[in-house]
Amino acid sequence: MGRFQMLLAYDGSAFYGYAKQPNLPSVEGALESALLKLGISSPILCAGRTDRGVHALCQVISFSTPLSLQTLQRHLPPKLPAPILCKGIQEVPLDFHPRFDATWRLYRYICTNIPPSPFLSRFIAHCAYGPLKLIQEALNLFVGTHDFKFFCKRETRHTQRTIHSTKVYQRVLYNHPCIVIAIRAPSFLRAQVRLMVSAALAHSLGKLSLEDLKAQIATRARHHHLLAPPQGLYLARVAYPPFAIT
């Protein structure tokens, strides 16, 4: 029995999130169906569960099977539905865990302040925003170790997280002027990135003061609770020790 890691990209708009749900399309459910076509009924572990509408450029899963690497590389990718792309498969140590072995994750949020083409509206969020300098000013406050209980969708016992870096920059994507917000950390709470992005955009528009944002990060008061739209968010990279795909 071997342990294998698969690197995936997927269109999150085709699914009700990563996690399997009764009678609803999910990434996990689609992966289970594809593996079953090859006689594989192994549990599937993932680097992180994306919410409904959130995309992945670099989701990592693992599973066990007696099939060879060559057999998997040849026969598994064609079994995946169109919204999921296999970017690579390789054998890993038997104790590999895509979530707990990850050293950091990178999310990117892409948005434009003009209505996007209907052909791009599932992949670029339409959000108002102000000067990039003010967006970065707000993002800088998140760097470091903080209690993010006011920046998560669901209350959990452990809400302390460490943000390694944040950056906002401009890009032109398919003739659309956009901004990209990149946030890197070892792990994130549910909806944390979307709440952080929304707060930074609100600050750039003069709707959330720097002092109020500081107070929310310090858990003294909650001043902002709106989520940025899911379609702009991408799980862009997951980093591992040398034996794993990155």
Binding residues for substrate: 107
The position carrying tokens 């944040």 is 166
Alpha-carbon distance of 155 to 192, in angstroms, equals 11
| Dist. CA 234–CA 124, nearest whole Å | 10
Name the active-site residue from 51, 95, 147, 212: 51
Q: Which of 113, 132, 128, 115 is nearest to 202 (CA)?
A: 128
For residue 245, which amino acid is it?
I
DSSP state of 232: G
51 is catalytic: yes
Distance CA 125, CA 92 (A): 36
Q: Could you give the CA distance from residue 50 to residue 109 in angstroms, rounded to a whole number?
A: 13
Q: Is 142 within 8 Å of 184 (Cβ atoms)?
A: no
Distances (CA, A) of 43 to 28, 62, 125, 206: 10, 8, 33, 47
Q: Which runs of consecutive H residues, i.e. helices, occur in the chain?
A: 27-36, 69-75, 132-142, 192-204, 210-217
CA distance 185 to 182: 10
Tokens of 9: 């990209």
Instruction: Please state the residue numbers annotated as binding site.
Output: 107
Which residues belong to the active site? 51
